[in-house]
A and B are shown apart, each in its own frame.
Chain A
Amino acid sequence: MAVTKIVEVPISAEVPIGPQHPALHEPLLLRVYADGEEVVRVEINTGYNHRGIEKLCEKNTFYKDIFIVGRVCGICNAVHANCYVRAVEQILGIEPNNRAKYLRVLSMELERIHSHMLINAVMAENIGFENLFMQIMLDREMVMKAKEILTGSRVMADFMMVGGVRRDIDDVKRARLKDILLKLRPKVEYYKKVFEEDETIFKRLAGVGVVKRRDALAHGLLGPVARASGIRIDSRASDKYDAYGDIPFKVITRDEGDTWARMMVRWDETLESIEMSIYILDKLPSDGNPVPDERKLPRRFPPGEAFTRVEAPRGELTYYVMSDGKSLNPYRVKIRTPSFNNIINSTFMYLKHTIADVPVILTSLDPCISCMERATVIDLEKGVKYTVPFKVLAGGKP
């Protein structure tokens, strides 16, 4: 019998990327289903870095929690601490003075500079441009030095305290910080130019992982990812917390929505942050001591709750802190980080791209796994894995 028909069976191969993978710097599992080279489906699995920080916060006092929440994420520790501290200040009804507010903003902007430089360097490494990675990381050390001068440590700032900051700067330090920032600015401008004009980088990044404005809104994307899709979302501009109301800055948006636009938004924000930091150092008010005496801070907390948000380098970060007025510990601390929104909802970006584009798209989202891994519920009892819907968690019936 002669063959009259051939039935082609489509085969999709499952390509697991992560939790340990050279393209990823943090533990996250991307289950990529590919038809040939084309990505047809992506599943994201998290939970490799769960530490139970929210429960830990409930077991420790309000003041200890300032240092615990700073350790949620190393890269953005000052913004975490600032968000929590402002929530506690709202409960207590304390307002820090202007100098403290300016210093807080300075530490957070330095953090934004080094975070954005880091992810741009990682992107350069992921697309095979290792030399650029080394160069950016070398110049990032200047910002780390500036953070050391300001806060006393390269990474872990531990700079925020209820009612102010934990150390003041004098004029010598001010001049040194300004000197560092002025030296850094031409270098960042140069790197921005490299990302704009280098043909290899542009070809690798442009048109990859395009997020339309509508998609970004529908999936609730935050931070530079949303701003690269033309959404003007920035809690620094909308909330004007701390001293952001006094310091002039632009909210950077781009309309392209692709990976390249996301990296360019980050470079522009870095330059904007450098300008803001220089403005702060020039116009630092001197209305009293910004360092509160930690021995005289209130011990008893009135009942109350507070909900605060900050613009972390990766997007909007929110804290909910509740005090029941009876114990020295917070009754509840809820953290929602921008990476959680950006990574969990990012599956649609990979579709129709090749497997080689997956690490590039993931890196452009600036994943911070240690940030997001406190809220996921994973049940692994008896080797059976099942997910619990949010409705049940909220006390509803399934």
Chain B
Amino acid sequence: MRRPRLLELTLKNLFRKPATIEYPRKKTPVESDYRGLQYADLTKCTGCSICALECPANAIAMTPIPQGYEAPKTNPRRLYPLINYGKCVFCYRCVTVCPFNAYITTPKYDLANAEKTINSSPLSLSTLRKG
């Protein structure tokens, strides 16, 4: 093997971008169809619980929609899937088994935040009108 030309290598590395990414300040670039946070669009969801039954990680709990939100007429039981992101393995089984295509998928992957519990309730409830 020939000797690495040190000067050339040093100069090259001097002007190269660092390979590491300063994560919290700079986001790691991911694909637009990366399997990130997913949540139910409650205007489409009927509360049928298939996603909760099919979830391999048992991360989905069917929860009543809180008072003060206008649930659609197609959801008579006023239930919605609450995903516990701490348990979720992001396999998107819930997305693919949903009979009404009610899930919205995002490439968001950073789960850490100041709140103690992370779940899909703020995201899901934001799809409903307050009434």
Q: Do residues B1 and A68 form an inter-chain contact, with CB atoms below 8 A? A: no
Q: Which of B1, B31, B56, B96 contacts A294 (CB 8 A)?
A: B96
**Closest A residue by C-beta to B35:** A152
Residues of B4-55 whose CB lies within 8 A of A:
19, 30-31, 33-35, 54-55
Closest to B96 in A: A294
Q: CB of A287 within 8 A of chain B?
A: no
Nearest chain-A residue to B93 (Cβ)?
A: A67
Measured CB to CB, the nearest residue on chain B to A194 is B1
Would you mind naming 26 contact pairs between A and B with Cβ atoms under 8 Å apart? A60-B56, A61-B54, A64-B55, A64-B93, A65-B56, A67-B57, A67-B89, A67-B91, A67-B93, A70-B91, A148-B30, A149-B31, A153-B35, A153-B90, A156-B89, A156-B91, A158-B35, A158-B90, A158-B92, A193-B1, A194-B1, A197-B1, A294-B93, A294-B96, A295-B96, A295-B99
CB distance from A297 to the nearest CB of B (A): 9
Q: Inside 8 A of B93's CB, which chain A residues have their CB? A: 63-64, 67, 294
Q: Is B97's CB within 8 Å of the partner chain A?
A: yes
Do A153 and B34 have beta carbons less than 8 Å apart? yes
Residues of chain A within 8 A (CB-CB) of B90 are: 153, 156, 158
A189 to B124, CA, bound (A): 49
For A104, the chain B residues whose CB sits under 8 A away are: none
Chain B interface (Cβ within 8 Å of chain A)? Answer: 1, 19, 30-31, 33-35, 54-57, 89-93, 96-97, 99
A63–B54 contact, CB under 8 A? yes
B19 contacts across to A, CB distance below 8 A? 138
A-B pairs with CB below 8 Å: how many? 51
Q: Which residues of A contact B97 (CB under 8 A)?
A: 294-295
Residues of A within 8 A of B (CB): 60-61, 63-68, 70-71, 138, 148-149, 152-153, 156, 158, 166-167, 193-194, 197-198, 294-295
| Chain A residue contacts of B91, Cβ below 8 A | 67, 70, 156, 158
A10 to chain B, nearest CB (A): 44
Closest to A65 in B: B56
Task: Chain A residues near B35: list those with CB within 8 A.
Answer: 152-153, 158
C-alpha spacing A148/B34, complex, angstroms: 7
Instruction: Indicate if the CB atoms of A64 and B30 lie closer than 8 Å.
Output: no
Q: Is there an interface contact between A152 and B34, defined as CB atoms closer than 8 Å?
A: yes
The answer to whether A152 touches B89, judged by C-beta atoms less than 8 angstroms apart, is no
Q: How many Å lie between the Cα of A67 and that of B54 in the bound state?
A: 11
Which of chain A's residues have a CB closer than 8 A to the CB of B34? 148, 152-153
In this complex, what residue of A is CB-closest to B57? A67
Chain A nearest Cβ from B92, distance in angstroms: 7
Are B30 and A166 in contact, with the CB atoms below 8 A?
A: no
Residues of B within 8 A of A149 (CB): 31
Q: Kindly list 20 other residue pairs between chains A and B, CB separation below 8 angstroms, not including A64-B55, A66-B56, A67-B91.
A: A60-B56, A61-B54, A63-B93, A64-B54, A64-B93, A65-B56, A67-B57, A67-B93, A68-B56, A138-B19, A148-B30, A149-B31, A152-B31, A152-B35, A152-B92, A158-B91, A166-B92, A294-B93, A295-B96, A295-B97
Q: How far is the CB of B8 from chain A (nearest CB, A)?
A: 15
Closest 5 A/B residue pairs (Cβ): A67-B56, A64-B56, A197-B1, A158-B91, A152-B35
CA distance A167 to B35 in the complex (A): 11
Among B34, B55, B56, B90, max chain A CB count under 10 A is at B56
**Cα distance, A61 to B55, chains bound together (Å):** 10
Distance A294 CA – B93 CA, assembled complex (angstroms):
9
Complex Cα distance A64/B30, Å? Answer: 27
Q: How far is the CB of B12 from chain A (nearest CB, A)?
A: 13
**Can you name the residue of chain A whose Cβ is closest to the Cβ of B29?**
A145
| Known contacts A68-B56, A71-B89, A193-B1; is-contact A148 B31 (Cβ 8 Å) | yes
What residue in chain B is nearest A167 (Cβ atoms)?
Answer: B33
- What residue of chain A has the Cβ atom nearest to residue B53's Cβ? A61
Bound CA–CA A149/B91 (angstroms): 15
Which of B1, B57, B96, B99 is in CB contact (< 8 Å) with A166? Answer: B96
